[in-house]
Structure 1
Amino acid sequence: MDENKIVPSKIHLTNIKWEKENTILFKNRLEKNPDYDITVSHNMMHNLEKEIVKIRLFLDMNALIDDPIEQGGSYEVDFFYKIDDLSDHYQISNNKPLFSGIFVSTLLGISYSTLRGMLFNTWKDTFLSNVILPVIAIPDLLKSKR
């Protein structure tokens, strides 16, 4: 396993599936733009024989103006990857695959960046149109399993 060898042409994002899309909008335009408390976490599944990896991202967002208000949402989105030579990115430990951190971080980065664009598009004609998900530290997302 070469932890530092990511070959982009061997990573194929084959499908994206919304599992949960729950946008909550305040009934009227707010006088003041709220701040948003945003939490992102993930889980990862795989099929080693088919060389498929699924990353599910969970995003919860709550608006705050002094106190929480009913605006934001919760989302779960699956990202399916076909990885050529998947075995290059893990080793077997205690009969389970242990994936390299750089490999998982790469998939998380692709997935989160894609989710940012998807939600920007979803929110463009709503009161959330001024919300752009923040750039985050992928090592923090790597630690945030659900």
Structure 2
Amino acid sequence: MEKKTIIAEKIHLVRILPSKEYFDHQYALADKELKLSIAQSTKHNSDKKSFKISLSVFLEYESQKIADYLYDFIFQVENLEEYVLKKEEKPLFSGILISTLLTIAYSTLRGILHTKLADTPLKDFILPIISPNELLKSKIKN
């Protein structure tokens, strides 16, 4: 199979849905070493040509939950069928499509959290740049 390229104009981020937004304001967090956990899950609807990327961000300090965010990013992919590698029981989508959608969702979440945390002790916190391949390894636990 030839390598598929992404046509950005055929991908649309149509909704951003916050599922969970928690921040504990009681901690004085300046100069603390926070533990960051990031996870994802993906779902698709081939009939609607849509993808849902869910991203979870969890921050803790000494086993205490500081922040817990879960956002769903809904995408329309006009040419979704072009990225299906196999269709048997479950479709398998090309890595380039999944990586692209994850990267868009994660970068968007970085901006959302930067804005949300602006008036908190974590005002200087920015989600780190990570590889979409690394993000794929962390699944959201239901």
Q: TM-score scaled to structure 2, two decimals?
A: 0.90
RMSD: 1.7
**In the alignment, is the contact (CA less than 8 A) between 1:25 and 1:70 conserved in 2?**
no
Name whichever structure is richer in strand by fraction: 1
Match of 2:102 among 108, 117, 121: 108
Deviation at 1:145, TM superposition (A): 1.7
Q: Distance in 2 between matches of 1:23 and 1:3?
A: 42
2:43 is matched with 45
The amino acid that maps onto 1:48 is S
Secondary structure of the structure 1 residue equivalent to 2:59? strand
Q: 1:69 to 1:95 in 2, by over 3 A?
A: closer
1:49-64 aligned within 5 A: 49-63=47-61
- The residue aligned with 2:113 is 119
1:134 aligns with 2:128: yes
Query: Once the two structures are superposed, what CA deviation does each residue of 1:17-66 show, in whole Å capped at 9, x if it has no partner?
Result: 00000112235x45x51122111111111110110100000111113xxx
Aligned to 2:73: 79
Distance apart, 1:133 and its partner CA = 1.2
Measure the CA separation in 1 of the matches of 2:3 and 2:136: 15
TM-score (norm 1): 0.88
Q: Percent identity?
A: 36
Deviation at 1:137, TM superposition (A): 1.6
- Is there any run of 5+ residues in structure 1 with no aligned partner, and where? none
85 and 10 in structure 1: CA distance in 2 versus 1, 3 angstrom threshold: same
Give the stretch that moved more between structures: 11-20 or 92-101: 92-101
Query: In structure 2, do the counterparts of structure 1 residues 54 and 23 end up closer, same or farther at CA, with 3 Å as the change threshold?
Result: same
CA distance in 1, matches of 2:33, 2:40: 23
| 2:4/2:83 contact within 8 Å kept | no
Stretch of structure 1 that moved more, 9-18 or 88-97: 88-97
CA 86–2 in structure 1, closer or farther in 2 if over 3 Å, else same: farther
CA distance in structure 2 between the partners assigned to 1:143 and 1:71 by the alignment:
22
